[in-house]
Amino acid sequence: MKKRILLLSLLLVAGFVLGTAYMKRGGGTQSSAEGGPLWSGPATVRGAGLSSDEQNNIDIYAKAHDATVNITSTIYRQNWFLEVIPQRESGSGFLIDKNGSILTNNHVVSGRAPEIQVTLSDRSKHKATIVYQDPRNDLALIKIAPKASFKHLVLGDSERLKVGQKVLAIGNPFGLEGTLTTGIISSLGRDIRAEDNNVLEGLVQTDAAINPGNSGGPLLDSSGNVIGINTAILGPGGNIGIGFAMPINRAKVMLEAYASGKQIGPPPRLGVSVAQVQGELALELGLPEEGGLLIQRIEEGSPADTAGLRGPRRVAIIGGMYELGIGGDLIMAIDGKPADQLDSLRLGLSGKRAGDKVVLTLFRNGRKVDLTVVLTASANVL
Catalytic positions = 107, 138, 215
What is residue 272's three-state secondary structure?
strand
Q: Measured in Å, how far apart are the chain's first and last C-alpha atoms?
A: 110
Closest CA to 341 of 195, 166, 194, 157: 157
Task: Let me know: does 272 contact 295? Beta carbons within 8 Å.
Answer: yes
How many angstroms separate the Cα of 252 from the Cα of each of 25, 137, 145, 192, 360? 64, 12, 22, 21, 22
Task: Let me know: does 85 contact 133? Beta carbons within 8 Å.
Answer: no
Closest CA to 252 of 369, 81, 137, 98: 137
How many angstroms separate the Cα of 364 from the Cα of each of 29, 125, 221, 286? 81, 59, 37, 11
Q: Is 286 left (phi over 0), alpha (psi -120 to 50) or beta?
A: left
Task: Let me know: does 118 contact 69? Beta carbons within 8 Å.
Answer: yes
**CA 265 remoteness from chain centre:** 24
Rounded to whole angstroms, how far apart are CA atoms 376 and 271?
A: 9
Position 311, amino acid: G
Task: Let me know: does 109 contact 118? Beta carbons within 8 Å.
Answer: no
What secondary structure does DSSP assign to 297-312, as a single string? EE-TTSHHHHHT----
Task: Let me know: does 210 contact 230? Beta carbons within 8 Å.
Answer: yes
Beta strands in the chain (DSSP E): 68-78, 84-95, 101-104, 115-119, 125-134, 139-144, 166-171, 179-193, 199-206, 218-220, 226-233, 243-247, 272-277, 292-298, 314-318, 322-326, 330-334, 337-338, 357-364, 367-374
Rounded to whole angstroms, how far apart are CA atoms 276 and 100?
A: 40
